């Protein structure tokens, strides 16, 4: 079989090797503390699960409109008005198989070979690969730990060229947990106002897990003019604990949404009917539901930050949202466990931590930022305590 040229140009997640090692260790009977996970260890709300069962029992499971059930899109429109105070008509919204497909549809529908997409690093692993798969060129804007992983607008402006088509923003951020400040967003708006042809993809998937503010701020909240060139990406995976239900949505200019629906019509068609009906119920969940989840996560974050606070060299910026910490492991590079290879980079750090202490974490280089690792605090308090103890043990044994 001869594969297409584009297969040479993008990669499977580097985390696959770690995930494989974790599975082999598990098969051998070891208990793995999985701090690599990108999902909450909580069940979806009972009302949501019940609704899915009802739909199945009624057999009400035929295809829906390609862009999603009108009722669901109407309710998403109401949600966006309520949460962000931004008005979208039903036909300015598309429902897809996860936030990932929304991003894929948008890139597939807009990128020509050589078009550039600015991605802020550390970034979610799939952004550059989706851009490449769709024929575009990712341009990485490095954000720095010492600048609180904020967007440096001077460096941004240097990256902008006549080929820049999109800027991707993600706040709360995976993997750093950073929430962009209003000041940072306003500086960004100042730069963007000079380049009216650049589209903005605002990935708000962790919106419900913003611990700094009661409501997440979207860049459109600070400049309504940006609405005509912004695609909001959101979904039910994170805050609603519905990762496996594969349901995300995009809201943006009608012409863009139409192009995305056209692509979806010839790839997956509509998102899963059962999940769409259940999502209608999920949109009824109130403020108290998300407050409880946030409080649970804040407690878990405290468990990790206090357990690791006295670990010299394990420097982590405070996570303001999502459920990740992104500590630097620079201080441990060049060290080794007795009888093991020297730890040369974040990948060997994660591999040795996993093989010796059975704690799975993700190397920072997967997110475009080496010398760091991503720790998830989405797991149970008990597991987090064990995981932190083992990380400390591991670091103490490095010489």
Ligand X SMILES: Cc1ncc(COP(=O)(O)O)c(C=O)c1O
Q: Is 122 in the site for ligand X (CB under 6 A)?
A: no
CB 97 within 8 A of CB 110: no
Size of the site for ligand X (CB under 6 A): 13
Q: Is 248 in the site for ligand X (CB under 6 A)?
A: yes
Considering beta carbons, is residue 174 or 361 the nearer one to ligand X? 174
Number of H helices, E strands in the chain: 13, 12
- Beta carbon of residue 316, minimum distance to ligand X (angstroms, whole number): 18
- Beta carbon of residue 99, minimum distance to ligand X (angstroms, whole number): 3
Cα 370 to Cα 378: distance, rounded to the nearest angstrom: 23
Considering beta carbons, is residue 236 or 394 the nearer one to ligand X? 236
Q: Interacting stretch for ligand X, rule CB under 6 A, among 93-101, 159-167, 186-194, 374-382? A: 93-101
Q: Tell me, residue by residue from 190 to 229, as one string, x for binding to ligand X by CB under 6 A and - for no binding.
A: -------------x-x------------------------
Q: Interacting stretch for ligand X, rule CB under 6 A, among 23-31, 96-104, 151-159, 380-388? A: 96-104
Cα 30 to Cα 41: distance, rounded to the nearest angstrom: 20
Cα 336 to Cα 285: distance, rounded to the nearest angstrom: 49
- Beta carbon of residue 337, minimum distance to ligand X (angstroms, whole number): 31
Considering beta carbons, is residue 109 or 250 the nearer one to ligand X? 250
- The end-to-end CA distance of the chain, in Å, is 48
Cα 243 to Cα 379: distance, rounded to the nearest angstrom: 15
DSSP 215: S
Of residues 159-178, which lie at the interface with ligand X (CB under 6 A)? 170, 174
* Number of residues that this document lists for the chain: 399
Q: Count of CB atoms within 10 A of residue 8's CB?
A: 8
Q: Which is nearest to 362 in space by CA: 350, 378, 370, 352?
A: 350
Q: Where are the alpha helices (DSSP H) in 86-193?
A: 99-110, 126-133, 153-159, 182-192
Considering beta carbons, is residue 205 or 261 the nearer one to ligand X? 205
Of residues 35-54, which lie at the interface with ligand X (CB under 6 A)? 38
Q: Residue 208: helix, strand or coil by DSSP?
A: helix
Contacting residue, 98, 136, 177, 250, with ligand X by CB under 6 A? 98
Q: Interacting stretch for ligand X, rule CB under 6 A, among 28-36, 47-55, 68-76, 98-106? A: 98-106
- Beta carbon of residue 125, minimum distance to ligand X (angstroms, whole number): 8
Q: Strand 164-170: give its sheet, edge to edge.
A: 93-96, 248-251, 230-235, 199-203, 164-170, 116-121, 137-142
Q: Which H or E element spans position 363?
A: strand 362-363
Q: Is 124 in the site for ligand X (CB under 6 A)?
A: yes
Considering beta carbons, is residue 68 or 98 the nearer one to ligand X? 98
Position of minimal CB gap to ligand X: 98
- Beta carbon of residue 98, minimum distance to ligand X (angstroms, whole number): 3
Residues that bind ligand X (CB under 6 A): 38, 98-100, 124, 170, 174, 203, 205, 235, 237, 243, 248
């Amino acid at each position: 079989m001869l594969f297409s040229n584009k297969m040479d140009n993008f990669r499977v997640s580097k985390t696959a090797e770690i995930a494989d090692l974790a599975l082999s260790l598990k098969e051998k009977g070891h208990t793995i503390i999985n701090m690599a996970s990108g999902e909450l260890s909580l069940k979806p709300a009972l009302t949501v699960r019940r609704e899915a069962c009802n739909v199945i029992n009624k057999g009400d499971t035929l295809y829906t409109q390609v862009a999603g059930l009108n009722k669901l899109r109407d309710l998403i429109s109401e949600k966006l008005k309520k949460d962000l105070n931004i008005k979208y008509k039903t036909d300015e919204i598309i429902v897809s198989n996860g936030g990932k497909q929304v991003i894929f549809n948008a890139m597939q529908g807009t990128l020509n070979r050589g078009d550039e997409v600015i991605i802020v690093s550390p970034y979610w692993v799939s952004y550059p690969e989706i851009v490449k798969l769709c024929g575009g060129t990712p341009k990485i804007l490095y954000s720095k730990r010492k600048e609180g992983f904020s967007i440096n607008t001077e460096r941004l402006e240097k990256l902008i060229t006549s080929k820049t088509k999109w800027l991707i923003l993600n706040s709360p951020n995976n993997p750093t947990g950073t929430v962009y400040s209003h000041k940072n967003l306003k500086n960004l708006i100042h730069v963007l106002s000079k380049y009216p042809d650049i589209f903005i993809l605002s990935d708000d998937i962790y919106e419900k897990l913003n611990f700094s503010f009661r409501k997440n701020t979207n860049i459109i909240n600070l400049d309504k003019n940006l609405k005509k060139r912004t695609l909001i990406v959101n979904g039910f995976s994170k805050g609603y604990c519905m990762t496996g239900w594969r349901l995300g949505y995009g809201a943006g200019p009608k012409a863009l949404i139409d192009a995305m629906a056209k692509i979806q019509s010839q790839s997956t068609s509509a998102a899963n009917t059962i999940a769409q009906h259940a999502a209608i119920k999920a949109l009824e969940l109130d403020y108290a539901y998300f407050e409880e989840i946030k409080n649970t996560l804040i407690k878990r974050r405290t468990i990790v930050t206090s357990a690791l606070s006295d670990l010299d060299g394990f420097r982590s910026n405070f996570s303001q949202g999502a459920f990740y910490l992104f500590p630097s492991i620079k201080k441990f590079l060049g060290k080794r466990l007795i009888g093991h290879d020297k730890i040369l980079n974040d990948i060997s750090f994660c591999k040795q931590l996993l093989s010796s202490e059975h704690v799975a974490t993700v190397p920072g280089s997967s997110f475009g930022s080496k010398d760091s690792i991503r720790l998830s605090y989405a797991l149970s308090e008990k597991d987090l305590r064990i995981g932190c103890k083992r990380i400390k043990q591991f670091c103490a044994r490095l010489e």
